[in-house]
Structure 1
Amino acid sequence: MSFITSNKGKPLLVRDSYIYYVSKTTATVKYWKCEDRSCNVGVHTNTNDAFIKTVGIHSHLQSPEDIEVRTFKENIKRRVINETTAITKIYDEELARQQMSQTAAAIMPSSYEANSGLNRARRKMTPVLPTSYAFDIPAQYQVTINDVQFVLCDKTLHNKRLLLFGTDQQLTFLFSAKHIMMDGTFDTCPPYFDQVYTIHAIKHEKGYPCVIGLLCDRKARTYRELFRELKHHATRLKTTFNPNTITSDFEKALIKAVVDEFPQARHAGCYFHFTQALYRNIQKLGLSTAYRDTETTRMVCRKLMALPLLQLNDVKLAFEDLKDDSPIILRDLFNYFENFWMTDIPLHLWNVSDLQIRTNNNCEGWHNRFNTRVNKHHPNIWHFINCLKQEEVYFRHQVIQMRAGATGRPKTKRTNCVQRRITTLADHYSNDEINLGEYLEGLSIPCVMPRTMRQSCLDKIENICQVYQIIIADDQTRLLLARFRLWPLVFIPRTADMGDFLYVDEVIWNDPHSLLDTTNTTTTSRNSTIQYTLIRPYYGQNPTLSSFFIDLLQVKQQPTLEDYLPLLSNVTNKTKDYIWRCIDVITRLAFAQNSQKLVLDKCANWTFIPCLGTENKFYKYDDPLFYPHDMDIARLFTDTLLIVNPSGRSKVP
């Protein structure tokens, strides 16, 4: 006996594949009647829903498929209401999780059919979206999932809004930390706010997000107000907020606010932000080619990046020596470094020689995690708060694990190797075994250009372009590449370190020629309309590549069954996702081209026939067949099995 919920939210009892609704309730008994109004069978339970007896005999057959579908729909609806995950993703996850019969899969509403009703259910639980910064936060959004106060601060600041989120447990954890990190992100910031700002407590070299703020701007007065609010809460909790070390980026307004509010703290800038800023200026000054092709230029740039690793008292002398010996092509780079890093920013702020943790990668990692869970750009405020609530649960879980002795992610071999080298060089220098120039040169060797995701993808595109110029010279190869859409499109930046590397078959383009235009192009993807970066900055003016790209996007001939069928003839070491994609394409083409017999003939000699067993694993044969994804697939490959003499069942290697 189990229970499900009706479309109107009423409880329904399920027993022996029949469904019952509550007819009446007394002080001791609940009377349930069969959902089929022509049937008089009833079930009695006590008020705690314990079974007592069944009364009568049913006048109709059971419908277990209907129960499967209702359970599936109820699970989806519950998640849609309680989660912020995309509805289509919830649908697909529940479809994969629930082992449905073929009949249930056939009568179940498709994702498209269910979408509108599920959207209505979600909207009923979501307040009206704000149209300005002045809006009320409903009570359910002011507390955590456990009904603990979550909004720490909600005030108007300079005709704008300041919101801080966190629990007393998070605050207590933050105030007890000797080292904190701070960083902002913009991609997940809701409308009417300027940035999402997070403050992390560092314990055992691991970061824990404790306070998440929605700030109205990036001015010193706003940061000061943020810190003063936290100090106010520290007083309320009978403690203080005086960290020994603060790590952040090099934003001047923030630096000023930290000096004002935490004058005794050691404020250290993020070493990664330092090298990233230097790298951007190397690009901006047109030195990328010189860096790549000239070892002298490359070595000097790396020595500049290594300056923060020297002892503070040695930095100025090392910089002057490096400047005197640098090639003339780097004059503008040294002028930038001297004016900004040696003058505008205090040396102690970007010197990290005495720190064990030199970057705020803990913050960056959390931002990447949070961006993934929000799963949209500039979400509405209610979606944003719901995601924060889930992160608060994650925080509590992480703290429990830490207190139980769990350790964070171990450092990589490369990180440990670099640290050992830095320590060894420092020892050699302090023992006068090497001079300052040799010390800096040794430190510069691990200092390669920062490899952000964006730069990594751009490098891939550059390399692929060079390869394609060679291989598309052959007409047959060119046709094959076009048919299979084997052409990398472009890296789509979301932030400086995040983005998507899309391929042609993942995008539906309104106008292929517009990609080679000089203005931004709006394209339609599978999920939404997004502004994409153009091809031209990455593929340049190369007429061969441009011509081939347009040919590829407009190609009429698509891959055929003859192209795809060999892909399933040997599935050794292939992933489940790979196999299913091949099955799906073959099935679509077989029915679209009325070529089922061709599939039957080709599959007859295969060592593997794609069947999915009850354990959701691929087998050579299985009885009965179970294809939860698509009835066309079931029909096609069921027919295939009729011409095969199974000799046993074997798992795909």
Structure 2
Amino acid sequence: MSNTQTLKKNSGFGDSSVPHADDCTPDNDILYKTKKINALKRRAAEQMKQIYHEEASSASADLKTADQFPTYKSVKTAMYRKRAGRFQDFRQLNGTSKLFTIHVFIAGKLVPLVYCLTVHKDLSTYRENFDNLILKAAALGVVLQPQTVICDFETALIPALQGTFPGVNIQGCYFHFCQAVLWKVTDLGMRTSYIHEAATKKKVKMLLATAFLPFHDVAAVVKLLGRDATGSVAVLFNYFRVEWMPPDRLPLWNVYNVNIRTNNDLEGWHFKMNRLAGKRHLGFYELLQLLIDEQGSTETLIQQVTSGRVTANDLQVKNKKYEELQQRITALTAEYDGGTRTMEQFLRSVAYLVPKEENY
């Protein structure tokens, strides 16, 4: 039923005291929102997230209506019902150029704000990028001094952050920590034994689980775990002590009482962007258009939040898997801290939560 028909039905059947539909001014906000929701439903046979991303990007062209754009959380159920296709396989961006991005949280939602396409990822490149950001922020009257930065373990990135932003708290990504150690497992020729031998898998996973221990317990526990190690496992523990145990390194990967969900948000964004790329090799202008579209979606989201029409709860699409994972880790940590779960019991339990072997 159209808006005109609805108004006629409620108009009192010709009562002159009630405005006729032809005399009424349509509610443009409602019409706009309805139009966009219907567009999302019509396109639901395509890739849902990509559809929403494109529609959100186009909405940013008019800031007067951008805040009216429906959130993904509010329309995803309707889109799923109409869905007929599947997402394409994972794709990776191409070329010698490297894309470095900076994300921030807005109303609990992680969004990209800075894109840097560089040839190198060395100390001077990172410092130049950060110096330029500081100048850009200053031109806007903003003092750029982040309190906490979550990042991977690139050799040049961390000292560049520490040198540019004195006093910043740097938290490494647990996913990348696990990935780095598991790659070392492969380098040492242990991948087969890790996958098929229960004792080796247990030892490696308990080593990864030490990241969830209180900072002051880690060194003693790693020493205890490696006490009886032989062969390649002993070499792995030696690598771990040299690479991850120095006093300035250990705090970066320790995630005691840290919400690990934060680390997964960025992985999800990278997965989305690679999927949106649609193919393994992108030319410069193809990549540029991809980033322009992404920025359009980001500006729509910012307008939604700043208008007050959208809250953090509206933006957060709950992931039951990670909610349960975080709840489990929190409960185990409380038991360990309270003395009702031993160190070995704690590590055994947390070991089930580290990345599976097919993820590296």
Using structure 2 for the length normalisation, give the TM-score. 0.68
Output one character per residue of 1:69-103: Cα deviation in whole Å (capped at 9) or x when no partner.
xxxxxxxxxxxxxxxxxxxxxxxx9xxxxxxxxxx
**8 Å Cα contact 1:272-1:359 kept in structure 2:** no
CA distance in 2, matches of 1:304, 1:435: 16
CA deviation vs aligned residue, 1:318-362 (integer Å, no higher than 9, x gap): 101111143545111112211211239610011111321465433
Q: Which has the higher helix share?
A: 2
Q: One-letter code of the match for 1:253?
A: A
Deviation at 1:231, TM superposition (A): 0.9
Q: Give CA-to-partner distance per residue, 1:502-557, whole Å, 9 cap, x none.
A: xxxxxxxxxxxxxxxxxxxxxxxxxxxxxxxxxxxxxxxxxxxxxxxxxxxxxxxx
Aligned to 1:246, what secondary structure does the other structure show? Answer: strand
CA distance in 1, matches of 2:62, 2:172: 37
| Contact 2:260-2:326 at 8 Å conserved across structures | no
| CA distance in 2: counterparts of 1:358 and 1:315, whole angstroms | 22
Alignment of 1:77-96 (within 5 A): none
Aligned: 1:407 with 2:307 = no
- Give aligned pairs, total: 271
2-side partners of 1:212 and 1:331: how far apart?
Answer: 41
Deviation readout 1:49-77 (Å, 9 max, x if unpaired): xxxxxxxxxxxxxxxxxxxxxxxxxxxxx
- Cα deviation digits, residues 148-198 of structure 1 (max 9, x gap): 9xxxxxxxxxxxxxxxxxxxxxxxxxxxxxxxxxxxxx9435x6x620111
1:258-301: CA deviation from partner (whole Å, max 9, x where unpaired): 11012211111110011111111222222223223332211111
Matched with 2:352 is: 445
Check the 8 A contact 1:196/1:212 in 2, yes or no. Answer: yes
For residues 216 and 292 of structure 1, the distance between their equivalents in structure 2, rounded to whole angstroms, comes to 36
Partner SS state of residue 395, structure 1: helix
Please name the residue that 1:223 is paired with.
126
2:17 is aligned to none
Is residue 2:266 matched to residue 1:363?
yes
Q: Percent identity of the aligned residues?
A: 30
In structure 2, what is the Cα distance between the partners aligned to 1:308 and 1:347?
Answer: 9
Deviates more, 1:382-391 or 1:242-251: 382-391
Runs of 4+ in 1 over 6 A off after TM superposition: none
Matched, 1:201 2:108: no
Give the deviation of 1:367 after TM superposition. Answer: 2.4
* TM-score calculated relative to the size of structure 1: 0.39
Unaligned 5+ residue runs, structure 1? Answer: 1-92, 94-144, 149-185, 456-653
Structure 1 equivalent of residue 326 of structure 2: 419
User: CA contact under 8 A between 1:308 and 1:315: conserved in structure 2?
Assistant: yes
Query: Is residue 2:112 matched to residue 1:188?
Result: no
Change (3 A) 1:419 1:386: closer
The whole-number CA distance in structure 2 between the counterparts of 1:375 and 1:448 is 26
Higher strand residue share: 1
Decide whether aligned partners of structure 1 residues 369 and 439 sit closer, same or farther in structure 2, where only a CA change above 3 A counts.
closer
User: 2: CA distance between counterparts of 1:448 and 1:381?
Assistant: 34
Cα 1:438–1:348, aligned 2, differ >3 Å: closer, same or farther? same
**1:296-335 aligned within 5 A:** 296-335=199-238
- 1:454-498 Cα distance to aligned partner (Å, 9 max, x none): x6xxxxxxxxxxxxxxxxxxxxxxxxxxxxxxxxxxxxxxxxxxx
User: Over residues 201-257 of structure 1, what are the superposed CA-to-partner deviations in whole Å (9 max), with x where a residue is unaligned?
Assistant: 123442101111111311111101111111111111111222221111100100110
Larger relative CO (CA 8 A, sep 6+): 1 or 2?
2
Number of the residue aligned with 1:464: none
Compute the displacement of 1:399 (Å).
2.7
**Inter-partner Cα distance in structure 1 for 2:293 and 2:258:** 32
User: How far apart in 2 are the matches of 1:233 and 1:244?
Assistant: 19
C-alpha distance 317-232 of structure 1, shift in aligned 2 (>3 A): same
For structure 1, which segment, 368-377 or 382-391, has the greater mean C-alpha deviation from structure 2 after superposition?
A: 368-377
Q: Aligned-pair distance for 1:389?
A: 1.7
Amino acid at match of 1:381: F
Does the residue aligned with 2:256 lie in a helix, a strand or coil?
A: coil
Return the match for 1:432 from 306, 327, 339: 339
Instruction: Specify whether residues 241 and 357 from structure 1 end up closer, same or farther in structure 2 by C-alpha distance, changes over 3 A only.
Output: farther
8 Å CA contact 2:259–2:326 kept in 1: the answer is no
CA–CA separation in structure 2 for the residues paired with 1:386 and 1:342: 43
Alpha-carbon distance in structure 1 between the residues aligned to 2:113 and 2:329: 32
The answer on whether the counterparts of 1:310 and 1:351 sit within 8 Å (CA) in structure 2 is yes
Mapped to 2, the partners of 1:227 and 1:324 lie a distance apart of 43
8 A Cα contact 1:197 1:214, kept in partner = yes
- 1:289 counterpart = 2:192: yes
> Rg larger in 1 or in 2?
1
Aligned equivalents of 1:215, 1:289: Cα separation in 2:
37
SS at structure 1 position matched to 2:315: coil
Residue 275 of structure 2 is matched in structure 1 by 372
Alpha-carbon separation, structure 1, partners of 2:162 and 2:259:
22
Question: 1-side partners of 2:304 and 2:228: how far apart?
Answer: 53
Q: 2:175 maps to which residue?
A: 272
| 3-state SS, counterpart of residue 250 of structure 1 | coil
Partners of 1:276 and 1:254 lie apart in 2 by: 18
- Give me the whole-angstrom Cα distance separating, in 2, the residues matched to 1:450 and 1:203: 34
Distance verdict in 2 for CA 1:420–1:371, change over 3 Å = closer
